[in-house]
Amino acid sequence: MAVLPPISWLSVDNEILEAQERVVSYLRRMGLRVDEVAPEGFGDLRHYYSLYLSILTATTSAGLPRAIRFLHALASRSYGSELLAARASGLLASASDYITWYAQRERFRAAYRVFFREWDILLTPANIVNAFPHTNLPFHKRRLDVNGQQVAYLLQNVYPGLATLCGQPATVFPVGFTRAGLPTGLQVIGPYLEDRTTLHFVTLFAREFGGFCPPPAYV
């Protein structure tokens, strides 16, 4: 098992990281080879995530009138955020932009293929936070509390995007509860088209350590 190294620019709730460390320790005690390593060429994942946001936004906004997309892009760029700028690029993407982005995505997909020749699965957090209160605030004003600090709402897609951008299978599995009683999950990513690999790992993990349990306050 590979474990994704910490992302330098991304804060993750301490209780999620503690749960991940417990899982890693369990698996090492069982005799699994577990190392912290990332696919070659992924760098600090800033470009990876920006590319994901641009492609995602271009796809999901395709049905909007151009004038609306232009206004949304203008608003996104006004905040000076690298990630919101990536969304703005997606809103105004040309066919040429889209083809260029897909070529960049293919390089990441090729890196994953090489990576999974050595590793069976890649373990990461499923999100940077556990369950949080619902909000109706405008998207750009939404924030998440991570270890007492307010971070951009958009950052919660970083870990899911690791699988989504390249079409890798991924399975989220329960690993206990927070001190407040909220369920915590981690994510395993597998080789392209090997959905059964991640599902089989989760099945084996549940057999050894217990699977889903309803939260204590759940009725």
| C-beta pairs of 26-33 under 8 Å, 24+ apart in sequence | 26/208, 26/209, 27/1, 30/208, 32/1, 33/1
Q: How confident is the model at residue 28 (pLDDT cuts 50, 70, 90)?
A: very high
Per-residue pLDDT for 51 more than 90?
yes
The string of pLDDT tens digits covering residues 109-132 is: 999 999 999 999 999 999 999 999
Q: Looking at per-residue confidence, does 205 or 138 come out higher?
A: 205
- The model carries a pTM of 0.91
The residues facing 124 across adjacent strands are 187
Let me know: does 84 contact 155? Beta carbons within 8 Å: no
Taken in order of first residue, the domains within the chain and their CATH numbers are: 2-209 (3.90.1300.10)
Residue 64 vs residues 68, 118, 138: alpha-carbon distances, Å = 7, 43, 18
Per-residue pLDDT for 79 more than 80?
no
Q: Looking at per-residue confidence, does 214 or 1 come out higher?
A: 1
**Would you state the pLDDT for residue 112?**
98
Q: How confident is the model at residue 77 (pLDDT cuts 50, 70, 90)?
A: confident
15's torsion region: left (phi>0), alpha (psi -120 to 50) or beta?
alpha
Per-residue pLDDT for 83 more than 70?
yes
Of 71-75, 90-94, 184-188, 191-195, least confident by mean pLDDT is: 71-75
Mean pLDDT of 15-41: 95
Structure token pair of residue 142 = 């939404």
**Would you state the pLDDT for residue 29?**
93
Q: Whole-angstrom Cα distance, residue 75 to residue 141?
A: 12
Structure token pair of residue 98 = 């889209």
Q: Whole-angstrom Cα distance, residue 109 to residue 42?
A: 10
Query: In the predicted model, what is the mean pLDDT of the chain?
Result: 92
**Would you state the pLDDT for residue 185?**
94
**Would you state the pLDDT for residue 140?**
75
Q: How confident is the model at residue 219 (pLDDT cuts 50, 70, 90)?
A: low
Q: Whole-angstrom Cα distance, residue 41 to residue 105?
A: 12
The residues facing 56 across adjacent strands are none
**Would you state the pLDDT for residue 175?**
93
Q: Whole-angstrom Cα distance, residue 215 to residue 178?
A: 10
Amino acid sitting at position 141 = K
The string of pLDDT tens digits covering residues 137-195 is: 887 788 999 999 999 998 999 999 999 999 999 999 999 888 888 889 999 999 999 99
